[in-house]
Amino acid sequence: MLSAAQFETYALYSILSVAIAGLLYAILLALQILKEDKGSPEMQKIAKAIQVGANAYLQRQFKTIALLIVVLSIALYFTAGSTYIGLGRSVAFLMGSIFSAMVGYTGMNMAVRGNVRVASAAGRSFGDALRIAYRTGTITGMLTDGLGLLGGTLILMMYGDLAYEVLLGFGFGGCLLALFMRVGGGIYTKAADVGADMVGKVERSIPEDDPRNPVVIADLVGDNVGDCAGMAADIFESYEVTIVSAMILGYAAFGHKGVIFPLMVRAMGVLGSIIGTYAVRARKEMKNAMRAITRGFTLSALVSIIGFFSFAYFYMNDIGASFEILGMRIPKVFLATLAGIVLAMSVNTLTEYFTSKRKPPVKEIVDSTQTGAATTVLSGLSIGYESTVWAILAIAGAIFASITIFGSNSLYASYGVALCGIGMLTLTGNNISMDAFGPISDNANGIGEMSGLKGEAREVLADLDSVGNTTKAITKGVAIGSAVIAAVALFGSYVESTKLPAIAVSNPYVFIGLLVGGALPFLFSSLTVRAVRGAASLIVKEARRQFNSIPGLMEGKTEPDYATCVRICTNAAQKELLVLGVLAILSPIIVGFLLHEEALGGFLAGIILTGQLLAVFMTTAGAAWDNAKKAIEDGLLGGKGSEAHKASVIGDTVGDPLKDTAGPGLNPMIKVINLISLIIAPTVVANKVLTLPVVVAVVSMVAVTAVALWYGKRESVSANE
């Protein structure tokens, strides 16, 4: 019989094998997708333009942030107490950054190759188009699963009991790069989308993906850099951070078992996602993509639940942490992880309800378009406000369940919350597949329209595009929910690290921190929305210029200058990145050293609360406006070109920067700030007295932040002149 140490060694190697298997499965799917038919020469020409634009954008973005990544990796070396840990933390930071970049870059490159194959398959059958679109997205999902699990396991195997110190660097690297990719991609895609809609649909009354629109290629590129590269990196860092927090708290609570169990759960999730992939297919040509995707998700959930119940029962049941139910001992770790699965399914259901064009909220927005743009916007705002209440109640319920399961001990309760996050992102492979399905289907629909596809093929692509809009919204809901759960777990790690018995709101310094933290997501959102506004203004002016100055463009006799619009969006998306990075990195350091660790705890609490409320509000309202527009374009209230349609386009363009830039951008911001706070916590505790060097450092950071904010606003204003 194996000893506990032997079992854990074999378990780690098995988990490592599952991580590698996930990566190999991604390669297998990629080879299968690349064998599919690429369609007509015209389709391939359009797809090539999208591919070139997307790669050019990401290469420019990586160059913009490369120096900051190098500087931070060096700085992290000095945040640890020993050379061994400092070096490991720096290397882990680089590994997290590189893995996050790989997920985004590779996933996006497969998406821009899969889109044309989906468009071609739509001419054959609905089932083929659905299969190719979903499995192309699954490549990104498997990369996320495999690399996230691989990184955490390797660090644990190399550093053992000291792994939690190094894991902070791994999580920080993934979070920071996700912040840049999510926000930069969001600015790009929404600047193009808003410009294309305002000039194309509203002013020129032409279809969304009409080849006469100068912005159409930039718009299709934006879908990939925002919703493929950006969102994949976003979910990847959530996947990383929940592993990091669970391993840190698990070791403090239960030793090695508390560390290895969440890795086992994640490994089971990889296997469950692979199995669920094969359930996503049309049955007897029943054209219901959402039902097929839900079926795959449900199967993966069932497989995963059975798996981690077995792990919990046979591996964790001897630590005395179980309930007696009907004569069977149910491990508490299983129930806490199950709470995360339930939360993920609840978020899916809530998001689908508030954003699906078949549900009452979107129908309400559709009705409001009959009385103009103002009522359309008001209707979407009210739906967004309501949705965030139900979402936060669901999250609060999951946290309450996790805490109740483990009792009042703060350490065990925090571990329960971390396991809830582990459970929520157990099916990351499915979640990313659903997310990437959206832009892949959107691009395929655009390629179909631009290349002149007709009849049933266009109907198939339009149906997949509509479902993709809902799956993107669902994934954003999961990303936001997981961000909050991960942040709460990190908050527990912060309290444990600083040895604070409590953080009392009655303490004036804590209250100041709470207020400042609560305000930060609003400032962050202001900067990102302003960036989209400035870039979209440039795009609108360029599109108008081309329509007015290029002879024969409106008649379809001349091709527009697509490249200029792509270049404008690429340049505009870079301007805010370093500004937002400075804000996220320096703000917790300033608060920590100026007001000390209790106030920094209040600061984190404020960010978590208002960040979640704002993020759900913006993403849900934006998606609801978008699907209301799509419902009208399907033929309701006069269809395309009607007054109702024009009002819906206004609602959609207002919602675009909210749902695809500002809202999702808050997810990595929340976690970046929490991780930085956790990294600097020992130094903050050790430097409670404001010595001259500390004062000089704080004043310098305040000055840098102020200059960065001034520069960001100045650039946005000048871009509009």
Contacts of 710 (CB under 8 A, 6+ apart): none
Quote the tokens at residue 80.
Answer: 């640890």
Kindly state the average pLDDT of the residues 127-138. Answer: 89
Burial class from Cβ neighbours inside 10 Å (0-12, 13-18, 19+) for residue 637 reads middle
Q: Give the Cβ contact number of residue 497 at 10 Å.
A: 21
Does residue 563 have a pLDDT over 70? yes
Kindly state the average pLDDT of the residues 448-471. Answer: 82
Residue scoring higher pLDDT (118 or 442):
118
pLDDT computed for residue 1 by the predictor: 40
**Number of H helices and number of E strands within the chain?**
21, 2
Does residue 406 have a pLDDT over 90? no
pLDDT, one tens digit per residue, over 31-41 is 999 999 988 88
Is the distance from CB of 206 to CB of 633 less than 8 angstroms? no
Lowest mean pLDDT segment, chosen from 111-115, 397-401, 403-407, 536-540: 403-407
Does residue 448 have a pLDDT over 90? no
Kindly state the average pLDDT of the residues 167-189. Answer: 85
Does residue 274 have a pLDDT over 50? yes
Give 205's DSSP letter: -
Residue scoring higher pLDDT (277 or 618):
618
pLDDT computed for residue 2 by the predictor: 44
Residue scoring higher pLDDT (573 or 712):
573
Domain assignment of residue 350, given as a range: 4-719
**Percent of all residues in the chain with a pLDDT value above 70, rounded to a whole number:** 95
Does residue 720 have a pLDDT over 80? no
Kindly state the average pLDDT of the residues 328-351. Answer: 84
Model confidence at 367, pLDDT cuts 50, 70, 90, reads: very high
Does residue 410 have a pLDDT over 80? no
* 3-class secondary structure per residue, 559-596: CCCHHHHHHHHHHHHHCCHHHHHHHHHHHHHHHHHHHH
pLDDT computed for residue 482 by the predictor: 79
pLDDT, one tens digit per residue, over 148-158 is 889 888 988 88
Model confidence at 321, pLDDT cuts 50, 70, 90, reads: low
Residue scoring higher pLDDT (233 or 386):
386
Kindly state the average pLDDT of the residues 587-601. Answer: 91
Model confidence at 719, pLDDT cuts 50, 70, 90, reads: very low
Model confidence at 323, pLDDT cuts 50, 70, 90, reads: low
Kindly state the average pLDDT of the residues 618-644. Answer: 88
Is the distance from CB of 146 to CB of 270 less than 8 angstroms? yes
pLDDT computed for residue 82 by the predictor: 83
pLDDT computed for residue 236 by the predictor: 79
pLDDT computed for residue 6 by the predictor: 75
Calculate the alpha carbon distances from 372 to 10, 365, 378, 379, 623 in Å: 64, 11, 10, 11, 19
β-sheet bridge partners, residue 387: none
As a whole number, the mean pLDDT across the chain is 85
* Ramachandran bin of 286, using left for φ above 0, alpha for ψ from -120 to 50, beta for the remaining angles: beta
Residue scoring higher pLDDT (512 or 203):
512
pLDDT computed for residue 287 by the predictor: 65
Model confidence at 714, pLDDT cuts 50, 70, 90, reads: low
Dist CA 417 CA 490 (whole Å)? 10
pLDDT, one tens digit per residue, over 652-700 is 889 988 988 888 888 888 888 988 998 888 888 887 777 788 788 889 9
pLDDT computed for residue 322 by the predictor: 61
Is the distance from CB of 469 to CB of 64 less than 8 angstroms? no
Specify the number of domains making up the chain. 1
Is the distance from CB of 117 to CB of 133 less than 8 angstroms? no
pLDDT computed for residue 614 by the predictor: 93
pLDDT computed for residue 385 by the predictor: 94
Q: Which residues of 164-190 are buried (b: 16+ CB within 10 A; e: fewer)?
A: bbbbbbbbbbbbbbbbbbbbbbbbbbb
Dist CA 502 CA 492 (whole Å)? 11
Dist CA 442 CA 463 (whole Å)? 10
**Percent of all residues in the chain with a pLDDT value above 90, rounded to a whole number:** 19
Q: Could you tell me the pTM of the whole model? A: 0.85
pLDDT computed for residue 259 by the predictor: 86
pLDDT, one tens digit per residue, over 86-115 is 899 999 999 999 998 888 888 888 888 998
pLDDT computed for residue 611 by the predictor: 92
Does residue 651 have a pLDDT over 70? yes
